[in-house]
């Protein structure tokens, strides 16, 4: 899986949703954001599946989660960018349940759920149009003329579209192959060299910095049991972590705890910080556990700390 800002942010929010103290004021908002990000990722997986199955007429390249900054310093995050020698297509993927409505004059995009709840969303057409203008200017500055288009695809099968969306560039993701076929007919002339534009875009790709951090005092301590949705702290017995409530047994639950630490606090940890976060009293027991994890040790004496690697989760048990 491509590690980029979107996934980092997802892992940050996922870790936060599992670790934030129950009485924290942000708990409900973080859980909501986590469900939204999870739905977004599911939509992107669906898109990848459809595009992998589709055979492009010419060479084509797909950049998922293209991120960059414009000349004014504001950011662009595109769910996917399809590059072909004849046209470029910006895809905005939405995974929204319920019925979608649009008021074009007001630029208002909202959904009504089955239970009648009305909720406004950022207008995806304005978002995609902003990306289109940006890319058009960029390509003009590179002296390249190629049609740049955008569309919004809905990845959720249960979503219904109201008639108010009839004239908007939005359709269900299953319609993407026929949409691409039509674009091929509409733009029969090859106008650019694909590897040239790919190199140009790669050069402006910019990984956006993490959006948030959290004070460790707001987090719950311990090796939390994932089978209990992280409600209970596990105990270490004979080389395994065991949940006192559901009796789930895991050898690598500690890796997940350190993954949370890496995502929420920082990518390295001292023995003391480790004891505090995991809830262990003995320095020696902590040293042993850190050794067993095989973490790289830096420094000596009081300044010693351990590096928590990006792949700390390794393989699932
Ligand atoms: Zn449990």
In the reported structure, the alpha carbon of residue 242 is separated from the centroid of ligand 1 by a whole-number distance in angstroms of 8
- pLDDT for the residue 71: 87
Cβ neighbours, 10 Å, residue 155: 23
In the reported structure, the alpha carbon of residue 276 is separated from the centroid of ligand 1 by a whole-number distance in angstroms of 21
Query: How many helices and strands (H and E) does the chain possess?
Result: 8, 15
- pLDDT for the residue 317: 42
In the reported structure, the alpha carbon of residue 55 is separated from the centroid of ligand 1 by a whole-number distance in angstroms of 46
| Residue (of 288, 293, 291) closest to 309 by Cα position | 293
> Would you put residue 233 in left (φ > 0), alpha (ψ -120 to 50) or beta?
beta
- pLDDT for the residue 122: 86
Neighbours of ion ligand 1 (CB under 5 A): 225, 227-228, 243, 245-246, 248
- pLDDT for the residue 210: 58
In the reported structure, the alpha carbon of residue 36 is separated from the centroid of ligand 1 by a whole-number distance in angstroms of 25
Q: How many residues does the chain have?
A: 317
Taken in order of first residue, the domains within the chain and their CATH numbers are: 5-204 (no CATH), 221-307 (1.10.10)
In the reported structure, the alpha carbon of residue 306 is separated from the centroid of ligand 1 by a whole-number distance in angstroms of 28
Pull the structure tokens for residue 288.
């042993």
Q: Are 307 and 296 in contact (CB under 8 A)?
A: yes
Residue 10 in 3-state DSSP?
A: helix
Pull the structure tokens for residue 26.
């942000």
C-alpha 233/C-alpha 133 separation (Å) is 51
Q: pLDDT per position in the chain (317 positions), as tens?
A: 345 667 788 899 999 999 999 899 999 999 988 988 888 888 888 999 999 999 887 789 999 889 888 888 888 989 999 999 999 999 999 888 889 999 989 999 999 988 989 989 889 999 999 999 999 999 999 999 999 999 999 998 788 888 998 888 999 999 999 999 999 999 998 888 999 999 999 998 887 665 577 888 999 999 999 999 999 999 999 889 999 999 999 988 999 999 999 999 999 999 999 999 999 999 999 999 999 999 999 998 888 999 999 889 885 44
In the reported structure, the alpha carbon of residue 224 is separated from the centroid of ligand 1 by a whole-number distance in angstroms of 8
In the reported structure, the alpha carbon of residue 234 is separated from the centroid of ligand 1 by a whole-number distance in angstroms of 7
For the question of whether the overall pTM of this predicted structure is more than 0.95, the answer is: no
Alpha helices per DSSP H over 189-282: 194-204, 253-264, 271-278
In the reported structure, the alpha carbon of residue 256 is separated from the centroid of ligand 1 by a whole-number distance in angstroms of 14
In the reported structure, the alpha carbon of residue 16 is separated from the centroid of ligand 1 by a whole-number distance in angstroms of 18
In the reported structure, the alpha carbon of residue 263 is separated from the centroid of ligand 1 by a whole-number distance in angstroms of 22
C-alpha 135/C-alpha 83 separation (Å) is 12
- pLDDT for the residue 41: 86
In the reported structure, the alpha carbon of residue 31 is separated from the centroid of ligand 1 by a whole-number distance in angstroms of 20
- pLDDT for the residue 277: 95
Q: Which long-range contacts (CB under 8 A, 24 or more apart) does 68-73 make?
A: 68/201, 68/204, 68/205, 68/206, 69/204, 69/206, 69/208, 70/134
In the reported structure, the alpha carbon of residue 223 is separated from the centroid of ligand 1 by a whole-number distance in angstroms of 11
Identify the residue whose tokens are 């269900």: 172
């Amino acid at each position: 899986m491509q590690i980029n800002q979107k996934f980092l942010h997802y892992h940050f929010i996922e870790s936060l949703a599992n670790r934030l103290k129950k009485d924290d004021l942000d708990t409900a908002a973080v859980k909501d954001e986590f469900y939204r990000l999870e739905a977004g990722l599911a939509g992107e997986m669906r898109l990848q599946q459809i595009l992998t199955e589709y055979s492009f007429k010419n060479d084509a390249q797909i950049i998922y989660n293209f991120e960059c900054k414009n000349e004014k310093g504001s950011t662009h995050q595109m769910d996917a960018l399809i590059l072909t020698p004849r046209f470029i297509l910006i895809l905005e993927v939405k995974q929204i349940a319920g019925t979608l409505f649009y008021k074009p004059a007001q630029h208002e995009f909202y959904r009504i759920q089955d239970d009648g709840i009305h909720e406004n969303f950022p207008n995806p057409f304005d978002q995609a149009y902003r990306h289109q203008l940006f890319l058009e200017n960029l390509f003009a500055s590179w002296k390249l003329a190629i049609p740049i288009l955008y569309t919004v695809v809905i990845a959720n099968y249960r979503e219904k579209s109201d008639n108010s969306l009839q004239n908007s560039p939005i359709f269900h993701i299953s319609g993407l192959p026929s949409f691409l076929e039509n674009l091929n007919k509409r733009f029969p002339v090859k106008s650019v060299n694909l590897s040239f534009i790919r190199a140009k875009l790669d050069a402006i790709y910019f990984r956006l910095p993490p959006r948030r951090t959290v004070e460790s005092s707001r987090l719950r301590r311990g090796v939390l049991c994932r089978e209990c949705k992280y409600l209970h702290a596990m105990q270490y017995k004979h080389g395994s972590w065991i949940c006192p409530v559901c009796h789930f047994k895991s050898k690598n639950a500690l890796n997940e705890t350190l993954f949370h630490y890496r995502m929420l606090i920082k990518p390295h940890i001292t023995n003391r910080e480790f004891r505090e976060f995991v809830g262990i009293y003995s320095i020696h027991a902590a040293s042993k556990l850190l050794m067993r994890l095989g973490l790289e040790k830096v420094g000596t004496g009081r300044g010693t700390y351990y590096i928590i690697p990006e792949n700390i989760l390794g393989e699932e048990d």
